[in-house]
Structure 1
């Protein structure tokens, strides 16, 4: 639909108070979800006063344009299921946004003038697909990455004024757009032509697809080292490409001159994973450092190699960007304190209107010895509570992700209801080195559950958790682990709550988006036809008849990642033997961007757990 005249408020600063907004009328856990939020604003490279951000100010997450010179903020998109994938053209004249259907992630790029106007297809002639990246050049050249079941990965070049896009890359394995150089003469492509979807190589090509340089740390797929594109130098004529590498067992930045082949290993001496992005003048790098579930920022001077800390509060910096004036804007929060967009110049840069989210409780760090090494877990409990408490093991998705000391309304809701919450950064999680992340292969699901079991034993032995009131819960990969855990560890869990899960791995493989099929082949060592025993061992459907705990499942009917058919297969097996279960299906994809829908889902989970734990 056209967003020039949206049906909702067009200015996130213009809101109307409702009874649900008034103090004392709704519980704190709902207020945390309803409290307006904003993302870190992206700014146009050649028009830094023009920014784009995401906000839930209308109750649905949508894109907003912000003119910093005038102060005007304008809602760009207005769709029933929300919009979060967008970017600005370098000149700031156009807002590009990805238009899918009801959250299915399959669609086309649209664009709209920055100050408002009709939407139009950004790249006429390209059929809908899953997105595999986008790069917009200063001269108007555009490279669009696409992924489909039929074609695999393709990249398409669109010149200004051209009638159609030209295909410049195609491969069956996963690939995507990395970045365009400042002058648009070079394109970086991340690809996995070697067949390992977890560890990409990087190829630099001319706009016509002609190869210029290649960097592949996988050595033919025998060495599990990956690369990631962080961006070309923001200076005309500069052929240096900033990459992230894993050569020392963690993510670190590397400067690669794509013209000469010279590689400069920055060897930044910080523990944990290190990422970086260019300062706008190319003189330095803003270093994002993640270690033991916290995040902080540093400035690296390229000429001298010196490292200077950027002052941020304790907690997690989830995203950050350097501005042309040398200041840094960043999105910060902690488990106890709601997020805010701050600046090193001082104060809050962008604040959503309305009531601030209520604080929650801080996290406690726990380290537990496990079968694959020390496991880091984050624990929250109601203020003043000692235990043993009903305890929710909230399992993160990914699996290449990790829980951190950041504000999260879901865990806070359980704490408000008297539960302890334990979040485990199991093997497979990021932030603890390459070996920890890559440990899943060929025994996926079972490995993560071994780590969760070790932390569960600690929680019970320490007196925190009531062994008769343990809840296993999670979404996406966490939902998959929930269903697998209920079947492989049936005697220990009292309730299971699985959101958008993998439930029948073979059917999920055949129905999911192509990029995830490639990832599954990497994790399993082949397809279901090639390694059927591995898919069987790691599929929740294999163990469904062993499940004893009441099971609650929520699923988006348009989900391309954990499709609905394989969930229906699992539910039919539960129903056939009369197992206690409830299923909630909603009209969206892999989760919902509508605030009230998300509150409804959490409320249903809270009520289901309370009802069955009271028995």
Structure 2
């Protein structure tokens, strides 16, 4: 869910291809009299996101739930307990935000999952939807910040024609453009009094490492902070949010100056930078406590996370106890309590509070748990590789094994609940998830290592973990499945071509299959990312694109391959997948393709179940039987 203060999701913008399959059709339901299997219950069980709350009306909240079978936005009046489904769309809705006064719900309206659309708004209590900013044509979203006056909005837009533009809208007045650049950029935050606008930009041409600019409402520059030194040093910055106090010009930002993400406080009026210098080994993010006196710290390290409160006056860090696992979102409430969304691989997600009470509980079916993950460290060509392993309780190897590769590439697998891997475990498979080079959470050097040899570096790390899985006795080398969605789907198709003897089956969801065509058809922000990763366009560095494209190796593929693809996908467009499928057909390769009328991620529960069912069935039919 998009948030107006920019404190959540900034790093996720780099995880451009982290989604899984998308949406249409009905799943095969259980036969009459047949009990719903646990793997399906995990998808069907209602779940909720961490509620976002209105800054000046904290009893008004907005959250996402799949309670109706499709992920949609819900309004929640915490003072009365009343909940109301705010959006109703066949393909679902997850991008929404409350205005600071709690009067309006803003939500992003695209067409059939293509991510190209406009912002709409409706009253919190319910009513007609209307265009939120009349006069702005449809675009890809590039950030949103809403003013406390209920009239001001800063809207980021991205189009192939214009690059990134940012507009200031005030009430019924026509929106005014205050920023424009061909390279990717995004709205970071609007100051508490509306006098300053923070923007993340990549004008230097490195889409993986943003610089910061603070604008006045007229578009003039108030301050600039750029750690890239003209693009020669790969250090990124991110906006975490302005101090929630009128007239306060402090901006909380994230930096990478010591080789990992850490927060600092930048006074954009004086230029003073207060480095917190926290003694924590992993990546650190933060957000303000509502009174501006402290920071809520989220520390991620080796696929798990923990919370702290940092007192800005005493400069003290105090741990906030949480169970072992992953905190995927946290917020400090006006009463000083902290609410957070937590899960582990074994236990489904829950919205918890430091008060000890349940914050928000989805009604209905409870999700079954799964088995815990085991940590594995493997020496690889670029350093120690962290992998997470799950296997059926009590099972001994060698087992049929699924290498489930995460998307991104700048993302990571964690000790958090995931219904997909749990479904494989239920069917007798071991599951291995690899945080290859390019993954976040292991330092800047690890994340940035895959440039120019894109895909090939990740496969080297996956191959090292594959070798460990076989030699340790976990995996049966004759029954190895390579699978993943988005970037993980890309690595699947690349892997079964580059390493044709290594994999028994390939199962790829919404993949990059023909890198050159994908570049020309994808959204502009992804073009910028690909230019950064590969060092130029396909015309400028054709050899690099060829070396990193699954299409180059399609004639080497020996494993049966299953591909699912959304026909409206702007991230991994359908034409480049069709090019790859035609080559499979021409060589008579054993393959199956599932196409559906949607985009890059399924928000429909039945559709997601259908996709998993098809993948499980493909594996059952094509894997050789155990000796």
Give the alignment's TM-score, normalised by structure 2.
0.94
Q: What's the CA shift string for 1:320-375, capped at 9, x where partnerless? A: 00000000000000000000000000121101111110010000000000000000
The equivalent of 1:145 in structure 2 is 156
Return the offset for 1:138.
1.0
CA contact 2:478–2:624 (8 Å) conserved in 1: no
> Is 1:160 aligned to 2:189, yes or no?
no
Return the offset for 1:386.
1.1
Q: 1:425 aligns with which of 435, 438, 453?
A: 435
The equivalent of 1:12 in structure 2 is none
Paired with 2:208 and 2:508, the residues of 1 have a C-alpha distance of 25
The equivalent of 1:210 in structure 2 is 220
Q: 1:439 aligns with which of 445, 449, 454?
A: 449
Q: 1:105 aligns with which of 103, 115, 125?
A: 115
Alignment of 1:530-549 (within 5 A): 530-549=540-559
Q: Which runs of 5+ in 2 are unaligned?
A: 1-28
Paired with 1:104 and 1:463, the residues of 2 have a C-alpha distance of 44
> Is 1:353 aligned to 2:360, yes or no?
no
> Is 1:379 aligned to 2:380, yes or no?
no
> Is 1:93 aligned to 2:103, yes or no?
yes
The equivalent of 1:519 in structure 2 is 529
Return the offset for 1:20.
6.2
CA contact 1:556–1:585 (8 Å) conserved in 2: yes
The equivalent of 1:400 in structure 2 is 410
CA contact 2:63–2:73 (8 Å) conserved in 1: yes
The equivalent of 2:258 in structure 1 is 248
Paired with 2:54 and 2:272, the residues of 1 have a C-alpha distance of 30
Q: Give SS of 2:607's match.
A: helix
Paired with 2:165 and 2:466, the residues of 1 have a C-alpha distance of 45
Q: Report how many aligned residue pairs link the two structures.
A: 596
Return the offset for 1:25.
1.4
CA contact 1:253–1:274 (8 Å) conserved in 2: yes
Q: What's the CA shift string for 1:163-212, capped at 9, x where partnerless? A: x1111100000011000000000000000000000000000010111001
Q: Give SS of 2:449's match.
A: helix
CA contact 2:479–2:624 (8 Å) conserved in 1: no
Change (3 A) 1:293 1:22: farther
Change (3 A) 1:202 1:23: farther
Paired with 1:235 and 1:20, the residues of 2 have a C-alpha distance of 54
CA contact 1:173–1:195 (8 Å) conserved in 2: yes
Change (3 A) 1:71 1:398: same
The equivalent of 1:16 in structure 2 is none
CA contact 1:21–1:355 (8 Å) conserved in 2: no
CA contact 1:152–1:174 (8 Å) conserved in 2: yes
The equivalent of 2:483 in structure 1 is 473
Q: Give SS of 2:517's match.
A: helix
- Runs of 4+ more than 3 Å apart: 19-24
Change (3 A) 1:559 1:419: same
Paired with 2:494 and 2:527, the residues of 1 have a C-alpha distance of 20
Structure of higher RCO (CA pairs closer than 8 Å, 6+ residues apart): 2
Paired with 2:525 and 2:428, the residues of 1 have a C-alpha distance of 40
The equivalent of 1:362 in structure 2 is 372
Q: 1:592 aligns with which of 584, 598, 602?
A: 602
Return the offset for 1:160.
2.2
Q: 1:574 aligns with which of 584, 587, 591?
A: 584
CA contact 1:201–1:226 (8 Å) conserved in 2: yes
CA RMSD of aligned residues (A): 1.1
Paired with 2:565 and 2:411, the residues of 1 have a C-alpha distance of 21
Return the offset for 1:161.
2.8
Return the offset for 1:311.
1.1
Change (3 A) 1:110 1:22: farther
